[in-house]
Amino acid sequence: MGILRVLVNTMGRVSTFRSYQFVLLLTAALAVVAFYFFGSERHDFSSTTKRIKQTQASHNTNRNDADLSLDTRLVHPEGGELERDGEEGEVRARRADSGHEVSQYYHALMMFTKVDKSRSLQEKFRVAMLSMAKYSLFLDKEVLVLHFVSDEASRELGERMLPELLLVGTFQYEVVFHDVGVLSQKLFPIVEAMQKHFSAGSGAYYSDAIFFLSVAMHHIMPADLQRIVQLDLDLKYRSNIRELFLEFDRFPPGAVIGIAREMQPVYRHTFWQYRKENPQSRVGEPPPDGLPGFNSGVMLLDLGAMRTSALYNQLLEPRNVAQLADQYHFRGHLGDQDFFSMIGMEHPGLFHQLACGWNRQLCTWWREHGYGDVFQLYYRCEGPVYIYHGNCNTPIPDD
């Protein structure tokens, strides 16, 4: 009986040990299955439509406006597709109906660098995209193409944020990320000479070239891209952005850029020496009769007109930039905005002036820094506000 009891106890222990082994093996097997299942099925901005792409025939469309050296396949709006062009460093996402016939593309570009390192920029981006999506209305055969000039880390952040931010939008859209390094490399030889006149630092720096993108965009974008709107990130939209594109049709003959006036006495200050030597000049004077300069927060760039304008391209030549800067004793630090303001003093016909409501700037810095007596002459803006511009980190009113 003693031997039998020992045998029974031994068999029990073996059975318990085997059950324990079986549980461990089962747990491990389930972990492996879960890893491959959930890991491969993670849904993000790009992976969802990779599966759609495998089962759905792509539809090639003709584009009226721009090819941008990438194919034009449109996919189902439930997903977004990412493709990288090795030569240009561009990444494109799409949200458009499969088989959707396109009659018109509307192009808008924003700077999107170092956003991953700044909570403030991320919040501005969130406000801008949510408000744009809320108010934007396009026709069935129209597509809004959103271009972002970005570093890689910010691009990855944008890819994660955009699907949610544009979720309320009822329009078709595409997203294109342009590598900031690639564009800077193309821009630098064109704008190097002007950087010393309009940059915050002394001299011309490769990294600063991107702040002059709008000045020379017509030289570096594909020839079939004819019109594009460049927008700051610190905007809040209160109307349909499609209406802004209609301003292109209001350009007078000879105009190449649509832009709103500066709403602070910035250039009253910057042109102080020229104004002192020319007391009857309208340079730096407030509206409606003065020339207060421009603000680059919202710009319509007619790239086709910029390419064919002999006058505009002559003004980009280093000797002409230097001549005007000397004539006006100009030394700025705001990049493209300074260049446009300076040449606008001499050649206002190159610009179509947008109503102040398309770029309702909110910054009041100069009111507390020596210009309180004249500030309101520059700052007032009559008429409806279509876009708020929270420049110099000014809070934007709630709707």
What is the side-by-side order of every strand in the sheet holding 351-353?
83-85, 90-95, 172-179, 142-150, 104-112, 227-231, 294-302, 257-261, 351-353
Copy the structure tokens of residue 392.
């110099």
pLDDT tens, residue order, the chain (399 aa)? 444 444 345 444 434 444 444 444 444 444 433 433 333 333 333 332 333 233 333 333 333 343 333 322 232 233 344 444 544 567 766 655 655 688 899 999 999 999 999 999 999 999 999 999 999 999 999 999 999 999 999 999 999 999 999 999 999 999 999 999 999 999 999 999 888 898 876 555 556 899 999 999 999 999 999 999 999 999 999 999 999 999 999 999 999 999 999 999 999 999 999 999 999 999 999 999 999 999 999 999 999 999 999 999 999 999 999 999 999 999 888 999 999 999 999 999 999 999 999 999 999 999 999 999 999 999 999 999 999 999 999 999 997
Q: What is the architecture, at CATH level 2, of domain 95-389?
A: Alpha-Beta Complex (3.90)
Domain-by-domain residue ranges, the chain?
95-389
What pLDDT, on a 0 to 100 scale, did the predictor assign at position 10?
Answer: 44
What is the side-by-side order of every strand in the sheet holding 360-361?
235-237, 387-389, 360-361
The strand pairing partners of 229, in sequence order, are 108, 300
pTM for this entry: 0.79
What pLDDT, on a 0 to 100 scale, did the predictor assign at position 93?
Answer: 67
Copy the structure tokens of residue 170.
């009822």
| Separation CA 340–CA 356 (nearest Å) | 17
| Closest among 79, 68, 86, 78 to 146, alpha carbons compared | 68
What is the gyration radius of the CA atoms in the chain, in angstroms?
A: 28
Q: How many residues does the chain have?
A: 399
| Closest among 365, 370, 367 to 390, alpha carbons compared | 365
| Separation CA 245–CA 34 (nearest Å) | 49
What pLDDT, on a 0 to 100 scale, did the predictor assign at position 202?
Answer: 53
CB 233 within 8 A of CB 108: no
| Closest among 38, 242, 49 to 163, alpha carbons compared | 49
Q: How far, CA to CA in Å, does 366 sit from each of 292, 332, 371, 375?
A: 14, 16, 6, 7
Chain centroid offset of residue 26 CA: 51
